[in-house]
Every structure is written in C-alpha cells, then in structure tokens.
Amino acid sequence: MSSMACGNGICRLILATTAATILTLSAFPSVVEGRGVLHDETADFRPHALANVYSNPVIADHILADPVVLRMNGTFYLYSTGDVSREDTPQSGMPDGMETIIFSSAEARRAYASSSPVNGGRTDCGYRVFVSEDLINWRRGPVVFAPPDHLCGNWAPHVWHDKSSGFIYMYYTHRESVGVARASSPMGPFENAKMLVDRAIDPFLLVDDDLGLFLYVVNIPQSHISVQKMVSPTELDPNSTAKVVLEHEDIPWECHGGQINEAPWVFRHNGTFYMLYSGSFFNVDFYAVGYATASRPDEAFTRNYELNPIMHRTDTVHGPGHVAVVYDDANEPWLVYHQKMEAVKMGQDRRICIDRLVIEPDGRLAVNVTRGENVVGPLINSSRIYPGPEMFLELEAQLAAL
Ligand SMILES: *[C@@H]1O[C@H](CO)[C@@H](O)[C@H](O)[C@H]1NC(C)=O
Ligand SMILES: *[C@@H]1O[C@H](CO)[C@@H](O)[C@H](O)[C@H]1NC(C)=O
Ligand SMILES: *[C@@H]1O[C@H](CO)[C@@H](O)[C@H](O)[C@H]1NC(C)=O
Ligand SMILES: *[C@@H]1O[C@H](CO)[C@@H](O)[C@H](O)[C@H]1NC(C)=O
Ligand SMILES: *[C@@H]1O[C@H](CO)[C@@H](O)[C@H](O)[C@H]1NC(C)=O
C-alpha cells in the first residue's frame, strides 16, 4: 500500500511497509542505480533516491574522516574531519548555507568523486555538518565550528545533545588539544567554551545514566587511551585524575606504521562496557578496529584477543577505522566510519561508510565491512522505502500527472 502526499511543491511517497518488504529490496539490484543520490526536497521529487539499500561509501563526493553522528528529532547530523578550508571560515563568521548536490546516476556521482582534489590544501580548519534522514542519503550543510584563533588542525569531533539543558556540546580537537564548544542547534554555530586537555586528540564523551560523564581522549605522543570523570559537560572533575585505560600492547594489527591506539567509542551492553578502538597509523591499508571490555568505564579495558581486529582491510576495503555507533529505529546499532579509497601507503583519501554492528547473543561483536556492494540499510521508520520497479513506474506516472 502506498500513497502520495504533496505540499509546498514537495511530494512524499507514503508507504506502508514491513520488515519482509525491506528484506526483498536486495533482490532488486537495478533499484540501486542512483541510490545514495543526495536529494533536494525543494527540487524534483526523486523516488529512486530513497531506497534503503546502500553501497559504501555513502558520502562518495567529499573527502571526510573520523565521523560522529548525532540523531535529533529523527534527523541524523554528521560531523567529521575534512571539507573546511581556510576560505570557508573568514573571521567575520561562518558563511554558506545548505548545499545539495544531485547526481543523475551512480556513474555521475563516481565521476564527481574521482575528480575531487586530494590533499589540495588543508581542509581541517573547522567542522562542517552533513544532514540525513536515513544515514544513506546526505546533504552537505554549513560550517558549524571554526576555532577562535583561526588556525587549522581540527580533527575527529565528538558531539552530544544534553536533553536537560537543550545544548549540544561538541568536543573538538584543535592543534592536538581537546576543547569543548556549545550550540543550541545541531546546525551550529558552536561557540567555543574552553580547552579541556592539552596534548590530546579524539575526544569521546560517555554519558552513563548511573555513573555520570567520562571524557576519553588519546594522549599525544603516547597514542594510548585515557579517561577522566567530568562534573559537567564542560568541567573535568578536579578531584579525579586522568587514567590510562587502554595501554599499548605489542600486537601486530595495532602496530602498522606506528604503535597507535585511538578513536575510542564506549558503550554499555548487558552490564559490560565495550570500547571500540582503532589501531595502527590511520594512513595505512592496515588501519583496523578492535574492541576491549571492562566492568567499569574508568578501569583498564581488556582486549578481545581472539576476535580482534573485527574490522580490517579486505580485497576491496582499505584502512577501515574510526567508528561511531548510531542506532536505527529497530534499535540496531550501526557503525559510521571511514575507509581509505586506495590501498597506497600515506593515502589520505578517506570517505564516510556505514555498516551494521552485530552484538551476538553471547556478547561478542562482529562487523562485515563492505565497499561497492549493495547492502540492506538501517531501518528508519520515516524513510520512504523504494517499493520495487513496477511501483516506481506507477509513481513516475502519478508524478507526471500532477
Ligand atoms: C521536530 O520535528 C517535528 C516534525 O517534523 C517538527 O514539527 C519540530 O519542529 C521539530 N523540532 C525541532 C526541535 O526541530
Ligand atoms: C572536591 O573535593 C573537595 C574536598 O573533598 C570537595 O569539597 C569538593 O566539593 C569536590 N569538588 C567536586 C567538584 O566534586
Ligand atoms: C548478559 O550477560 C550474561 C552473563 O554474561 C549472559 O548470561 C546473558 O545471556 C547476557 N544477556 C544478553 C541479553 O546478552
Ligand atoms: C519503528 O517501527 C517499528 C515497527 O513498527 C516499531 O516497533 C518501533 O518501535 C519504531 N521505532 C521508533 C523509534 O519509532
Ligand atoms: C557477514 O556476512 C556473512 C555472509 O553473508 C553472514 O553470514 C554473517 O552473518 C555476516 N555477519 C555480520 C556480522 O553481519
């Protein structure tokens, strides 16, 4: 059953769907031609852009890395390293509004992607937001944060919506120090609040209902992971000290190009704290993700030696890493992360990808990393699921008659 709803020049396909129809999508490979296309709701209605089948990378046309995703009011907001040049952040303020790029086909999208400049000047001079309703189709939004000193070197932000105050806090890296900024909208602007930790990168804030707030960072130059309790979103607990919770170990997958542990992401499942972390130098093909567990967020985490790394290079996937966890409407966890586009050492060309995180009944974590293949995407209740080729033709006819 489906129907059209139109208003403001915008039409939406309203489709009654079930889990069964979602799963059959993978049986229609032709559907995905153009899937992943960024759609502009103020322009033409493009039902073919709305299928919840995806193939990685989901943001193919911008070089981005180290993502974090916030969901507010049903909408996903992604912040990452990359795509902010000096010119994007004049001291007078942060310009540019929402920009939507529509590609007529997957080929057009790939062609655009391959022509994007790689390493053509610094692109880490602040943070930009990308917006999505379904984790698959993304629109490029404005720059939302630029550091007060107007210097570049902003990587791997973390973002949290504090429902009690209504503010959105952004934990950012600026020239190898971690600070916090605050906004009243996910679209920014984020105003700098204060620096929190010197000589650190990759902040992650754990918000635990029982135990409070914990700020994890990666200390530089050691590249190990430490945590400190916070008494508010902007204040470290003065009565606690930072504690290293993931020490280096001489494990081959964590030592390619340097002995590096970074990008912590911590969540609680069934009474256990899980830390997903990346190992090796981010620029190498061997960059990978493993996990460790603990019974408290501020005690040493124990690696899962048997399963690690749970995400690593394959014949088609290069240097997958720096994960963020986000939940779909079935409450299933998804990883948003980056892959390198090339295997070559030192390649900086990274793009945003998503894949499902599976928590097995026995508590073990598993991920299949994918690139370029068609995969059934997250379950998003409001998403307008593509119903199949016949329905598509019918819809086009309905649209033509409007
Ligand atoms: C949340 O979404 C609803 C429905 O689309 C909208 O009316 C409301 O203004 C949104 N609230 C915020 C804070 O964006
Ligand atoms: C730190 O400890 C002192 C002495 O016990 C106490 O008075 C103070 O309230 C504590 N501060 C915080 C932020 O917990
Ligand atoms: C939770 O952990 C306990 C103890 O390890 C295990 O017996 C149980 O099956 C787990 N439950 C779930 C829902 O994962
Ligand atoms: C999404 O829809 C499913 C199936 O109708 C329902 O079980 C689930 O609670 C919904 N989730 C949200 C977040 O609305
Ligand atoms: C990975 O893919 C295999 C083959 O399709 C499948 O059997 C397995 O369940 C998948 N695992 C995860 C974690 O998605």
Distances in Å between the alpha carbon of 312 and those of 95, 369, 374? Answer: 38, 8, 19
CATH number, domain of 257, equals 2.115.10.20
17, 381, 385, best to mutate for ligand 4 pocket (most atoms within 8 Å of CB): 381
Q: Is the CB of 238 under 6 A from ligand 2?
A: yes
Write the residue with the smallest CA distance to atom 10 of ligand 2: 239
What pLDDT, in 10s, does the model give residues 157-195?
999 999 999 999 999 999 889 999 999 999 999 999 999
Q: Which parts of the chain have pLDDT scores under 70?
A: 1-51, 90-121, 383-402
Q: Is the CB of 307 under 6 A from ligand 2?
A: no
pLDDT value of residue 39? 34
pLDDT value of residue 400? 63
Write the residue with the smallest CA distance to atom 5 of ligand 4: 381
pLDDT value of residue 53? 83
Residues near 132 by beta carbon (within 8 Å), at least 6 away in sequence: 75, 76, 78, 138, 139
Neighbours of 10 (CB within 10 A): 12
Question: What's the domain count of the chain?
Answer: 1
Residues near 326 by beta carbon (within 8 Å), at least 6 away in sequence: 69, 71, 76, 135, 333, 334, 336
- 358-380 in b/e form (b: 16+ CB < 10 A) is eeeeeeebebebbbeebbebbbb
Domain membership of residue 268 as a residue range: 2-401
Ligand nearest the Cα of residue 131 is 1
Residue whose C-alpha is closest to residue 276's, from 260, 286, 263: 263
